[in-house]
């Protein structure tokens, strides 16, 4: 649901509960589709211990492992430099996050190891909340636009792309054994969608949440399924999503994967993190298909 339950007052690090798995995280996508390049800025914090982690990554088909992709500096255990202030913090690896306009505009920068990022993200609509929001737990997703530059080993890339971001606070159990997917696409300011699916015992990924923005009207996804039509080296190559929202509107989206990072950032889980070329409603839009598995399931898939 898109809800007033989250406001500018949530642009803080929330007080932790006594759950030992408490975590707070945020992620922003950026891409250069004409070069088949995908990327992220991703951070997390444990307010109980004052430790943080995260960083940026960039990849394309020339390297799809964290050790051979274009760039990777997502690190664990980074005590923040200075005060732990959500509106303006910097990690030791130089990643900086600044809230310029709450829930609407953010500045992201980084300068280490041959990569310089200077990015600005602006929203296209209000955040969409998965389930209910409270100070104890929340997950929301928000479509936007990313503009700026990425200079990698002296080569400058101009960034101007549609982008998704998410934010989560509450108990986070990274070793969870369920598999599923996080997928989204944006064609323009009036047409986008996002879905989260979970694998069932029948082997079908069922939609558990998401939204459809069509002709400026937002609907809640209430049913649907995701299917992988083809795989390449284990990763999805062609994906289909069929879903319906609470206005009775059907969504049929077909995606062609351009590149897939094998991401092992969270313990016990691997994600095929893809740049995906999506088509739906006679439109074309770039986005992602983030398919995640427990590691033992990946081993069975690949061997």
What does the alpha-carbon distance between residue 72 and residue 115 come to, in Å, rounded to a whole number?
10
In this structure, what token pair is assigned to residue 301?
């898939």
Q: Is 204 helix (H, G, I), strand (E, B) or coil?
A: coil
Q: What is the predicted pLDDT for the residue at 4?
A: 53
- Alpha-carbon distances of 3 from 59, 141, 181, 240, rounded to whole Å: 34, 12, 23, 28
Q: Give 215's DSSP letter.
A: T
Residue 44: strand pairing partners: 25, 53
Asked whether residue 239 carries a pLDDT value surpassing 60, the answer given is yes
Q: What is the predicted pLDDT for the residue at 77?
A: 85
Asked whether residue 1 carries a pLDDT value surpassing 50, the answer given is no
Residues 6+ apart with CB under 8 A from 87: 11, 12, 98, 99
Q: Is 242 helix (H, G, I), strand (E, B) or coil?
A: strand
Q: What is the predicted pLDDT for the residue at 118?
A: 99
Give the mean pLDDT of the chain.
Answer: 93
- Model confidence pLDDT, tens digit, residues 186-218: 999 999 999 999 998 777 899 999 999 999 999
- Model confidence pLDDT, tens digit, residues 84-142: 789 999 999 999 999 999 999 999 999 999 999 999 999 999 999 999 888 889 999 99
- Model confidence pLDDT, tens digit, residues 12-46: 988 888 888 888 999 999 999 999 999 999 999 98
Q: What dihedral angle (degrees, nearest 10) is formed by the CA atoms of 200, 203, 207, 209?
A: 50
Using the structure block, give the residue that is written with the tokens 């986005």. 287
Q: What is the predicted pLDDT for the residue at 80?
A: 75
Asked whether residue 3 carries a pLDDT value surpassing 60, the answer given is no
pTM above 0.85, yes or no: yes
Q: Are 281 and 264 in contact (CB under 8 A)?
A: no
> In sequence order, what DSSP letters do the residues of 255-278 get, joined into one string?
EEEEEEEEE--STTEEEEEEEEEE
Q: What is the predicted pLDDT for the residue at 174?
A: 64
What domains can be seen in the chain, in order of their start residue? Answer: 23-172 (2.40.370.10), 176-302 (2.40.128)
What does the alpha-carbon distance between residue 287 and residue 25 come to, in Å, rounded to a whole number?
20
Asked whether residue 255 carries a pLDDT value surpassing 90, the answer given is yes
């Amino acid at each position: 649901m898109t809800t007033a339950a989250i406001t500018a007052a949530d642009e803080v690090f929330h007080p932790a509960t006594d759950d030992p798995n408490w975590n707070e995280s945020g992620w922003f996508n950026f891409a250069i589709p004409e070069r088949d390049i995908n990327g992220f800025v991703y951070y997390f914090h444990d307010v109980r211990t004052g430790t943080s982690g995260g960083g940026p990554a960039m990849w394309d088909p020339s390297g799809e492992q964290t050790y051979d992709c274009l760039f990777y500096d997502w690190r664990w255990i980074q005590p923040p430099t200075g005060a732990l202030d959500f509106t303006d913090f910097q990690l030791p690896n130089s990643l900086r996050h600044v809230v310029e306009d709450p829930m609407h505009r953010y500045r992201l920068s980084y300068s280490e190891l041959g990569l310089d990022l200077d990015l600005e993200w602006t929203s296209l609509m209000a955040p969409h909340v998965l389930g209910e929001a409270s100070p104890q737990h929340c997950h929301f997703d928000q479509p936007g636009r990313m503009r700026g530059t990425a200079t990698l080993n002296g080569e400058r890339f101009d960034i101007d792309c549609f982008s998704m971001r998410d934010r989560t606070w509450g108990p986070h159990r990274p070793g969870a054994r369920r598999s599923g997917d996080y997928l989204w696409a944006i064609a323009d300011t009036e047409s986008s969608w996002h879905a989260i699916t979970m694998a069932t015992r029948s082997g079908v990924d069922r939609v558990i949440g998401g939204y459809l923005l069509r002709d400026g009207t937002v609907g809640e996804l209430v049913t649907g399924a995701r299917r992988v039509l083809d795989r390449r080296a284990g990763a999805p190559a062609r994906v289909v999503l069929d879903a319906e929202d609470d206005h009775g509107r059907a969504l049929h989206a077909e995606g062609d994967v351009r590149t897939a990072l094998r991401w092992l950032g969270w313990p016990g889980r691997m994600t095929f993190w893809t740049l995906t070329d999506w088509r739906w409603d006679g439109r074309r839009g770039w986005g992602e298909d983030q398919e995640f598995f427990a590691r033992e399931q990946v081993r069975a898939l690949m061997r």
